[in-house]
Structure 1
């Protein structure tokens, strides 16, 4: 009965989506044709990515604390007061939380090789929807992590809501508002997967664009989670990406709210988060909202990982 109710909510949201223009977010195909391949790619890729957070946004790394451990026992973050966002009210001390993390960069490689990760906030045209999914997921422990990851891949790949399975439409209806559901519509981005526009893209951008196009096609064909994962998370050997920085594993970031944080991912699905809140610091009493934290790797060929307030299930 509950699934039928959720499906009904999803159908209502689908009707809202169907009334909106397919290319409202990125401009029309005619615009792309008029601009030409060289001009079209920057216009579409710059400032309109669902999540655009990159290494250039991760400016809070603190190399002075490389190899440093806070001078007190580490405690479980879950012992702190929770917030409505699924976060934690910080108190003085050294804390650890093994969370469910999520891939937000399709067509790149997962964590590996001792790569360091830095704090950066979510940015992009879909940042509100992505943070809402992650926050609301804490109140829905019955939703499997794979279901949440699938929805996030749909958002970052700009998949149409109509192409999601009945199950994932129901998940989307639980975690997103009708207004946010109405934004899940495909645009002119398919032009970036092949043809003259794609041919003029730098190789890393072309690979990501093609991975997103493949994900959109996979959603439309009802692909399994394993098939989606193979498209979004690359395997095999990986070289350093352009613009990479040498960030040692375990580097702390000094959060602008006055505490230190570091990310130690085991895979894209789970990350150990350490937080240090010095006594008397500005971080005391502030909220750690995992949905506002994207762990950005020093290697641009690896995935950026949004954190969540859900504990990882072994």
Structure 2
């Protein structure tokens, strides 16, 4: 019997293929590129995070830049303190005068008066009262041309309600974003402003700022500054809502109650005259922020004869820094 012979198992190693030099180089390049790609991804992530952070409301930005209208008591340099007891006699209705090119009135010698529609230009302050006097100052600030145009053109558009004019002015002084305003307010702006003015309405506009960020921005600021900025922030919020009521915005913008006193206040009796640079005398007797009796006296031989009294260039500034600044208009108010 022939024995079964088991042949030893032979393991044959597959022949090793020589690696291409190009493949080796490619692998090395890929390995080297991994840190670069990772760093690039980290860089992109940093940019995204940075952009997101920039899009968050910056509390410091609230206090940067110039307010749209800066007119203050320091701009009111034409008060006449020697005429407090003077009354020129019988007043002729101001609307009896011929209208000027800006919707104002061409002056002649005599005394004239008109109960006008006036407008608040300082949200978060108190309305007229307490016997405080008001004196003349011109509109000053980056948006003075817009504000004057709104008030002037409101004379040419009597169909625009006084409330709508006021809300548009609040939108400007509160630095609301025009593209976020309700359709009704945009329509009012289109009537009262030129296309170039409309195009610049977002200049200096502020985002809606959450309460904690606003608190951070206003920390350690004077009480009046805090009061004004909080009112403007509330107005911006309310103006993004189509069903916001005028009465609610008015309560935010025009504070009730007694106005606090401030070291920068100036004692001005009610009815103090101002001598306008054009040569006529003017005084303001507000019965509320939205209604002011304007009295003008033009002496015989005055250089003011023939000049235009343009109400849109008149801001009645109170002696109290906590009270409203009131821009005048050429539209008559029916309550006086």
Query: Where in structure 2 are the equivalents of 1:1-314 lying within 5 Å?
Result: 43-44=64-65, 48-70=66-88, 72-185=89-202, 186-187=205-206, 190=209, 194-222=214-242, 223-314=244-335
Return the offset for 1:183: 2.3
Give CA deviations for 1:225-275 in whole Å, capped at 9, x if unaligned. Answer: 111101101112322234100100000000010010000000011000000
| Total equivalences in the alignment | 278
Coordinate RMSD, CA, aligned: 2.1
User: CA–CA distance in 2 between the matches of 1:237 and 1:284?
Assistant: 40
8 Å CA contact retained: 1:242, 1:300: no
CA distance change for structure 1 residues 302 and 198 in 2, over 3 Å: closer, same or farther? same
Would the aligned equivalents of 2:130 and 2:258 in 1 still touch at CA under 8 Å?
no
Please give the alpha-carbon distance, in whole angstroms, between the structure 1 residues aligned to 2:54 and 2:300.
Answer: 56
In the alignment, the residues of structure 2 paired with residue 167 and residue 237 of structure 1 have an alpha-carbon distance, to the nearest angstrom, of 34
TM-score, scaled to structure 2: 0.78
- Structure 2 distance, partners of 1:42, 1:162, is 23
Alpha-carbon distance, 1:189 to partner: 8.4
Using the alignment, how far apart are the partners of 1:64 and 1:178 within structure 2? 46
Deviation (angstroms), 1:100: 0.3
Bigger drift between 176-185 and 81-90 goes to 176-185
- Larger-gyration structure (1/2): 2
Q: Describe the superposition over 1:62-115 as per-residue Cα deviations: whole angstroms up to 9, x where unpaired.
A: 001011111x42111111110121100000001101100000000000001111
Question: Per-residue displacement from partner, 1:158-212 (whole Å, max 9, x unpaired)?
Answer: 1111222211111110001122122222236848971432113211111101110
Contact preservation (8 Å) 1:104, 1:304: yes
2:62 and 2:170 map into 1 onto residues whose CA distance is 21
| SS of the residue 1:308 aligns to | strand
- How far off its partner does 1:51 sit? 0.7
Cα 1:269–1:308 shift into 2, 3 Å: same
